A and B are shown apart, each in its own frame.
Chain A
Amino acid sequence: MRRVLAVQLARFGDLAQSKRLLLSMAGGAETEVHLCLDRSLIPLARLLYPFAVAHGLPAHRGDGRPEGVFTFCRESFAALRELDFSEVYFLNFSPMTFTCAALFDPEQCRGYARARGQDLRSGQASLAFNFMRDRRFSPVNLADLWAFFHPDPVAPEKVNPIAHPAGTGCVGIIPAGRQARRSLPPQVLAACVQSVFRALGGPRLLCLGAEEDRAAARRLKRELPMRIAEKLEDLTGKTSLTDLPDILRGLDMLLTPDTGVMHLAAHLGTPLQAFFLSSAWCFETGPYGMGHRVWQAAEACSPCLESAPCPRNVACLSPFSHPAFLAHLAGKFSPYWPEGLLGCVSALDDFGATCKVVDGGNPYADAARELRAGLAEHFGLPGAGASGMGPRNAGFLFREKDWMLPENWKHA
């Protein structure tokens, strides 16, 4: 029995986006997949990846008490070491990840490693850092980036089902994401909800979220006309993460910002209307699979760093209130399309997931397409052929070290 481990210490959304890699790891004969993650996410991991053995670490704040962290980690590390993994995949670039990597021989490690006290990135991870220097041109979905840490990733269409409405007449709404600036304010979201409500002929609405989202849900309800508000049931704070899959399966559609629940819905095949603004960039973290819609804010400053104050008073919000967009969302024809907004459909190609722009113009599309073709050529994807990538984009994708020292720790 061959054992392989993935270490994913980030949040719910990142865990869901690790799916293609985990499926790829599970692909080999006689392979036992293990997953190391924050202990609070173990129940969710069991739902997402029932084939994987989950190991918890106190990677998140938890109860905020440091006393137990050492003992918990030490016991977990001892247990992981005992399992004698043939490969260990490290997915996140973080000091905690490198600490875990220090437990293993660098030869075992994929993605990131620590050798002789020095933190190292694999060739694939370095490549990602190269093209993430300018996120406007991001050619790869994060889920695929991680999947390519594996030498033989599963086909993109095997990751998530094609999205289909459940036929229940029920629409879910996520009123707020973890990052406030990535979420539509209640007034803006309420207008979008009204449009969808009209388009679907007055469905039942379910507001979903954690306890801390209750205030946002209440504000949303206040902003809705009475006839719509009456059809909205507020479930925020009333469901656990493990209740979510059943609820999501029963939806015709989910309205959401870029959240972990969005990725969970994509995992289940629930159709999405996803609103991406501020730092969220659907070409990096859009929903994986066919049948989703994404509305991507695309101001000149997009995508931004959400931790930095916005000097433009979150200008990327305004297209979401534009009458032409709301008409579009309501399923009505409009000859106009607001500037600074892209209407996308989720799509798959040989490389993986992508967002195809069908409304609005993406000035970075040509460069991103060329970079994606260049990456496909680099990874030797079947049918990739000659990318025709020009020297400018090739110079952006590859750096001196890649050209001159291609053998430089090139695991994965």
Chain B
Amino acid sequence: MLRVLVVLPMYGGSLPVGCFAAEGLRENGCLVELFEGPAFHPVFCALKELKVGSERLDALQNSFLQHVSQCVTAKAEAFAPDLVLCPAQAPLDIASLKQLRRAGIRTAMWFVEDFRLFTYWRAFAPYYDLFAVIQKEPFFSELAALGMDNILYLPLAALPSLHRPLAPDARGEKEFGAELSFVGAGYPNRRKAFAGLRDLGLKIWGTEWEGDPDIAPMLQKNGERIDSEDCVRIFNAASINLNLHSSIRPDPPVVQGDFINPRTFEIAACGAFQLTDRRGLLPELFSPEEIVTFSDLDELREKILYFKARPEERAAFAARARQRALAEHTYAARMKSLLEFAAERLPGFGRHEDIDWPENMPEDMRAAVSGLIRDLALPADVSFTDLAAAVRGKSGVLSDAEAALLFLDEWKKLYG
């Protein structure tokens, strides 16, 4: 059983990706432990309230992040994972990455950002053992030039247990229902593109839309942050979901970039209909029969009007997109690819020392162990060591059987 420590970022778009990846790993039978980066975020924010010189603040923020990184390495030491998986922005500094490498603990970065915008990967890439990315060339070549040999194209995905069709309900319809919806942050290209769609009944959810009088009437919930569950409600309650990939420039509003954002997979898995801007890597993930695309704002308006009037066609596209998403684009599938790639590229990956089950295990122990395995949703052939690690990771007071198992684990460590 593979053990994976997922280092959750303190906040941001890669935070849910980390949570969903952890779920995908569990679905692949991994024993997963989370480093809860968000728990440290309030302290980081408190530093910004100090009213000190910017240089001092910068130094304090960096030393705080070094401390958080040490917390990650301490957790890795305790959990002894086969892999530390870091979504982009995971709080792990270079010194800690070196420390993990010295300790023989493998690290993987899932860089779910645009490499052209977030160029800090150049500093960090050499210290990871594996780099999974959502773009292809020239990113692959540039990573290889830095000495990174283990590069995996790993697009984003959906989590079917969360991103799923919801039965219509009156409250959801009232709160989130729309002819035309968009959920996401107010990047300049989106502001420009959506400013002209008020007449089509567009409702916008998400943050960073302030200060734009054209947008303000369309903005819902005062521009509050929308959590993953409400995103699913919005996707389900919209006739048409707009999906426009972000750009830091207003022009062109439809940039026709390469990578595919998470929203594409999530809307598809919800069985909802979407209009998505044309992207270089989309055709290999979804066919034109599954997701309808647009190349510019004229085509967007034209397709909104067309599909607005054709609910059956929308439903057919949505159903096909959902089928494809469930078949190929789940976090479980992505994590399977990641683990297979790690096994292929990283010598000795996944081989950790296991303590054997006691020979002649008494019947009552067999029954209790089966119960623990069932409660913890672990595979039936879980090793003694992994079951003990899973029990050790539990919060709260342990049951008699759980404590007895851990006691036996300690006994075996001492006496063989």
A-to-B contact residues, CB < 8 Å: 57-59, 61, 64, 66-71, 73-74, 77-78, 81, 94-96, 99-100, 102-105, 116-117
B162 at the interface (CB under 8 A from A): no
Closest to A68 in B: B362
Closest to B394 in A: A117
Closest to B384 in A: A66
B119 at the interface (CB under 8 A from A): no
- A77 contacts B404, CB within 8 Å? yes
- B411 contacts A66, CB within 8 Å? yes
- A67 contacts B397, CB within 8 Å? no
- A117 contacts B392, CB within 8 Å? yes
What does DSSP make chain B's interface, helix, strand, loop or mixed?
helix
CB-defined contacts of B104 to chain A, threshold 8 Å: none
Please judge, given known A-B contacts A71-B365, A74-B400, whether A61 and B415 are in contact too, CB under 8 Å: yes
With A and B bound together, what is the CA distance between A58 and B412 in angstroms?
11
Closest to A104 in B: B397
Chain B stretch 380-408: residues in CB contact (< 8 A) with chain A: 392-398, 400-408
Closest to B366 in A: A70
CB-defined contacts of A71 to chain B, threshold 8 Å: 362, 364-365, 404
Listed from nearest, the 5 A-B pairs whose CB atoms lie closest are A73-B404, A74-B404, A77-B400, A66-B358, A102-B398
CB-defined contacts of A61 to chain B, threshold 8 Å: 414-415
With A and B bound together, what is the CA distance between A100 and B400 in angstroms?
10
Given A70-B404, A73-B403, 7 other A-B contacts at CB below 8 A? A61-B414, A66-B415, A71-B404, A74-B364, A96-B411, A99-B403, A104-B397
CB distance from A400 to the nearest CB of B (A): 13
- A103 contacts B365, CB within 8 Å? no
With A and B bound together, what is the CA distance between A96 and B414 in angstroms?
10
With A and B bound together, what is the CA distance between A96 and B405 in angstroms?
11
With A and B bound together, what is the CA distance between A117 and B394 in angstroms?
6
CB-defined contacts of A58 to chain B, threshold 8 Å: 411
With A and B bound together, what is the CA distance between A87 and B244 in angstroms?
61
- B410 contacts A116, CB within 8 Å? no
Partner of A100, one of B405, B407, B411: B407
- A99 contacts B397, CB within 8 Å? no
CB distance from A376 to the nearest CB of B (A): 35
Write 19 A-B pairs (CB below 8 A) sorted by A numbering. Answer: A64-B416, A66-B415, A67-B362, A69-B404, A69-B408, A70-B362, A70-B365, A73-B407, A74-B365, A74-B368, A74-B400, A74-B404, A77-B403, A96-B410, A99-B410, A102-B402, A103-B398, A103-B400, A116-B395
B359 at the interface (CB under 8 A from A): yes
B361 at the interface (CB under 8 A from A): yes
B54 at the interface (CB under 8 A from A): no
CB distance from B108 to the nearest CB of A (A): 25
Closest to B356 in A: A66
CB-defined contacts of A100 to chain B, threshold 8 Å: 403, 407
Please judge, given known A-B contacts A116-B396, A117-B393, whether A70 and B415 are in contact too, CB under 8 Å: no
CB distance from B77 to the nearest CB of A (A): 14
CB-defined contacts of B413 to chain A, threshold 8 Å: 95
Please judge, given known A-B contacts A74-B400, A81-B400, whether A99 and B407 are in contact too, CB under 8 Å: yes
CB-defined contacts of B400 to chain A, threshold 8 Å: 74, 77-78, 81, 103
- Name the residue in B361, B402, B408 with the highest tally of chain A Cβ atoms < 10 Å from its Cβ: B408
- B358 contacts A67, CB within 8 Å? yes
Q: Mark B159-196, 1 if CB is under 8 A from A, else 0.
A: 00000000000000000000000000000000000000
CB-defined contacts of A117 to chain B, threshold 8 Å: 392-395
CB-defined contacts of A104 to chain B, threshold 8 Å: 397
Please judge, given known A-B contacts A67-B361, A71-B364, whether A102 and B406 are in contact too, CB under 8 Å: yes
With A and B bound together, what is the CA distance between A161 and B61 in angstroms?
60
Partner of B407, one of A67, A69, A78, A116: A69
Q: Mark B354-383, 1 if CB is under 8 A from A, else 0.
A: 000011111011001000000000000000
Q: Mark B322-333, 1 if CB is under 8 A from A, else 0.
A: 000000000000
CB-defined contacts of A57 to chain B, threshold 8 Å: 407
With A and B bound together, what is the CA distance between A66 and B388 in angstroms?
15
CB-defined contacts of B365 to chain A, threshold 8 Å: 67, 70-71, 74
Closest to A94 in B: B410
Closest to A59 in B: B411
With A and B bound together, what is the CA distance between A104 and B399 in angstroms?
10
- A70 contacts B405, CB within 8 Å? yes
Please judge, given known A-B contacts A105-B397, A117-B392, A117-B393, whether A70 and B408 are in contact too, CB under 8 Å: yes
With A and B bound together, what is the CA distance between A71 and B398 in angstroms?
16
CB-defined contacts of A94 to chain B, threshold 8 Å: 410
Please judge, given known A-B contacts A102-B398, A105-B397, whether A95 and B410 are in contact too, CB under 8 Å: yes
CB-defined contacts of A69 to chain B, threshold 8 Å: 358, 404, 407-408, 411
With A and B bound together, what is the CA distance between A103 and B410 in angstroms?
15
CB-defined contacts of B359 to chain A, threshold 8 Å: 67
Partner of A96, one of B395, B398, B407: B407
